[in-house]
Structure 1
Amino acid sequence: MSKKGFGSLIACGAVLVASAATTVLVKHHLDSAKIIDKVKSVLGEDSKVIGSWVEPFYQRVDINGQSSWGIVGGVTTMDEFDVAQYHFIADAVSGELLNIKKVQ
């Protein structure tokens, strides 16, 4: 293979890797937004969410002895004058909210 052909092959591979990485990041962002909405729904309309965060990458999580990919994050709420924080884990594949707990 010529140097030009080899260079084109490397450039094509780099484009594919960059494209795949971008797709994963966009999917993670969209999944995260859906899960934050689910958390808000679980907490109820009385809880005013004033902040939220999500880990920037999918995480390996262990739920009930099962290892899977998850989305990990949290929300901060304010009820009247009480501020509370909740942490959550959601399944990265199904979007199911696996665990949510109030941090004390």
Structure 2
Amino acid sequence: MKKSKIGIFALGAILGGISGCILRTLYYQHRAKHTDMILEQVKKEFAKKGNVTGSWIEMKPVVYATGDKNFKVNYGGINRCEKGHIVQYEFIADAMSGMLIDIYPVAGQPALKDDDLL
């Protein structure tokens, strides 16, 4: 009788461990990317074409509607030195993947070609 109880316990422990591993993997695949990581990605891209002098990002994602789709996004901003002037940009990044959805200069900034953004 003891051997069957040990076997049932072992089977339960194994199944519980496997279930835990699967749930952990699913959790990390579907959670939002950390905002600090998103900001670091954007800063790295902006630094390729000029010195980044400042940056910020909203910590709480918001819903962004485009056409028939809704995304959770983070808004943020970057200051970069370009041709001797500090130019401010704002960006919208997908909260799940960190992918940039939009980048635009703040109103009142010098107009630049799309090639100059990133």
TM-score band (shorter)? 0.5 to 0.7
Q: CA deviation at 1:37?
A: 2.4
Q: CA deviation at 1:65?
A: 4.1
CA contact (8 A) 2:77 2:88 kept: yes
Cα gap change, 1:43/1:91 in structure 2, threshold over 3 Å: closer, same or farther?
A: same
Distance in 2 between the 1:65 and 1:48 partners?
37
Amino acid at match of 2:44: S
Q: Which runs of 5+ in 1 are unaligned?
A: 1-26
TM-score by length of 2: 0.54
Residue 75 of structure 2 is matched in structure 1 by: 72
Q: 1:82 aligns with which of 59, 82, 85?
A: 85
CA contact (8 A) 1:90 1:96 kept: yes
| Residue 31, structure 1, aligned to residue 41, structure 2 | no
Distance in 1 between the 2:38 and 2:66 partners?
17
Q: 1:101 aligns with which of 104, 110, 113?
A: 104
Structure 1 or 2: larger strand share? 1
Give percent identity, aligned residues only: 30
Distance in 2 between the 1:63 and 1:38 partners?
23
Amino acid at match of 1:32: T
Amino acid at match of 2:41: K
Amino acid at match of 1:63: T
Distance in 1 between the 2:68 and 2:44 partners?
27
CA RMSD of superposed structures (Å): 2.3
Q: Which runs of 5+ in 2 are unaligned?
A: 1-30, 110-118
Q: CA deviation at 1:64?
A: 4.3
| Residue 61, structure 1, aligned to residue 45, structure 2 | no
The number of equivalent residue pairs is 77
